[in-house]
Amino acid sequence: MFVIKARRQRIEQIDLLRASAIFAILLVNIFAFALPELAYVNPVYIASTTAGDIWCWVFLNIFVQGKFLAIFSLLFGASFEFLSKQGLYWNQIRLFVLAIIGLLHGIGLWDGDILLPYALTGLLAIKFIHFNNTRQLYYKSIVIYLSGLIIFGSFSYFTDVSSFWYPAENDFTNEINIKIAGGWKALLYRAESVAQRLIMLVIDYGWQLLALMMAGAALVRIGWLTGNFSLFHYRYVAYWTIPLTIFIQLCSIAIQYYYDWSYIVTGLLGFIINQIIIPVQVIGYIAIIYGFWPQIKNIFIIKWLQSVGRMALTSYLLQTLICTTIFYRFGFFAQFGRLALLSFVPLIWFINIIFAISWLKYFKQGPIEWLWRYLTNKFATC
């Protein structure tokens, strides 16, 4: 009864979760926008990296990196369950349209696009969700998630990555020149990067995305993501999962530091530990929102954040437009360290909030959300 009702009206906690994910992802995406690609995963990607920048990476690695992308994946899978009444075909068309938006975004603006991988993975996830019961979804999501880590670990361990983890200085110079120059050269570079990311979707993160989407749908079916459990339950989950996962990651970071952030320890072992921890930690993060919702919902800024959550796709693309303008069009790419780059984030958050609030005063959904649904309905009736 509760779940049926939830499909007819928005779940306020989910809007807040979407906004939190959009904002938190920018804390690490700002490095992907403004620094060479390796800076995203390697805390000492250049010899001149300062201690402050290293510990900035460490902090975000423990609390943010991968965690809020996982929340988005869970919510993406949850949306399949909420929209199941529209039918499998309609949802497949919806993902096809998202893939087009993602392809245009990735090649036209920023090669770090996640929409295309989400859409392609979603086409597989929606099949699992449609043809499996809740128990099967849980078991299969665990197997798929762990299988992905085994595949990634095996591939990475037996592949020579020295040129990736320790690139030559001219590699950075070429990347910087291409991204600042723009034009056809940059367009071709982004197209090649998008193609490489699709390959990595199979080798690396696609398995985790698929498993998390399936788990998100299962969490809706049991009522966990619709707030159907007690406040005590959610708080209990948060109290146990978050401290435990942080402690394990602190131990992992200590080992990585001891071995001077080498690829085997940081890029492989540390990454795998982080990936194992992520599902548990994000369940804790989500549980905080649900467990303390009676207190949280009365904070004045929450309504603002929910506006961003209601138009999450538009907000995500707006962040890309702002960041590519600043760092590519104005030539500020690779001009700041990690700590300095974080100072840009509050301004972008502010623009997201102002735009969302202003737009939703006159319209029921964001412009890209409207376009997404319009094209889906158009193609579905052809």
- Output the tens digit of pLDDT for each of the chain's 382 residues: 233 333 446 789 999 999 999 999 999 999 999 998 888 888 988 878 899 999 999 999 999 999 999 999 999 999 999 999 999 999 999 999 999 999 999 999 999 999 999 999 999 999 999 999 999 999 999 999 999 999 888 877 777 666 677 777 677 778 888 888 778 888 898 999 999 889 889 888 899 999 999 999 999 999 999 999 999 999 999 999 999 999 999 999 999 999 999 888 988 899 999 999 999 999 999 999 999 999 999 898 999 999 999 999 999 999 999 999 999 988 899 899 999 999 999 999 999 999 999 999 999 999 999 999 999 999 998 7
pTM of structure: 0.92
> Is-contact 127 210, C-beta < 8 A?
no
The span from the CA of 337 to the CA of 45, in Å, is 11
Rounded alpha-carbon distances, angstroms, from residue 234 to 33, 246, 288: 35, 18, 7
Q: What are the sequence ranges of the domains in the chain?
A: 2-380
What is the separation of C-alpha 232 from the centre of its chain, rounded to a whole number of angstroms? 28
The span from the CA of 43 to the CA of 24, in Å, is 19
Q: Tokens 């049991």, residue?
A: 222
